[in-house]
Amino acid sequence: MVVDAAAAALVLVVVAVGVVLLTRDGEPPPGEPRVVTVEAESLVPGAVVDSPAKSGAKVEAQPNCCGVTWSGDTQLFFQGLAIGDRVTVTVQIPADGTWRFAAVRTTSLDYANTVFTIDGTQVGGTFLGFTPTVRRTELLDVGTVRLSKGPHQVTLLVVGKTQGTNRYFAGVDEIRFTEIVARAVAR
């Protein structure tokens, strides 16, 4: 195959531009929102469990089970045993702004009703964790929150249950923060 020098230089420039575009430091194009998506189970090593009733609650990374496949093949599995049990994880936010918080959750016959708090303030309403079989939800919108750049505490708090069981379990597969970007109005 014969390739002239000009064609080879053009290919090199296109490849170099492609590499630069693919390796930009996670910054979205101007006007597009930043998105922070975290596999919740990746946060288990730094998670803090609090059980005011000293119930023995714990958290672990649970592999696929019960006919459910989680993204990353694992979920954050919180094994609460009393109302008030909670698990807190830390998420890094890349910039000051207003962020839409969402999560992919799991439901089951021994799963609790829970709420999320971020830095101690409740975001969204109560999530009802009971279903007769284990299920993975789609990405569910939780709420909007104003956050500064840096670390933030995301807490999953047990607030009740709808079934007769002595367990207050909860599962979180993924959490996502999407920056709300103001759009320019055309004149």
**Average pLDDT score over residue span 149-165:** 94
Average pLDDT of the segment spanning 75-100: 97
pLDDT at 11: 39
Q: What is the pLDDT of residues 64-85, one digit of tens each?
A: 999 999 999 999 999 999 999 9
Q: Rounded to an integer, what distance in angstroms lies between the CA atom of residue 124 and that of residue 101? A: 9
Q: Is the pLDDT of residue 25 over 60?
A: no
Across the range 169-186, mean pLDDT stands at 86
Give the span between the Cα atoms of 35 and 38, in whole angstroms: 10
Candidate from 3-7, 34-38, 98-102, 149-153 with smallest mean pLDDT: 3-7
Of residues 165 and 116, the one with the higher pLDDT is 116
Q: What is the mean pLDDT of residues 14-40?
A: 64
> According to the model, what pLDDT value does residue 26 have?
62
Q: In the structure, what pLDDT confidence band is assigned to residue 163 with cuts at 50, 70 and 90?
A: confident
Instruction: Indicate whether 113 pLDDT > 60.
Output: yes
pLDDT score, position 92: 97
Burial of 32 (0-12, 13-18, 19+ CB in 10 A): exposed
Is the pTM higher than 0.85?
no
pLDDT average, residue stretch 133-139: 96
pLDDT band, very low/low/confident/very high, at 183 (cuts 50, 70, 90): low
From CA 184, how far away is CA 154, in angstroms rounded?
Answer: 31
Spatial CA neighbour of 173 closest among 122, 138, 132, 142? 138
Q: What average pLDDT is seen over the chain?
A: 87
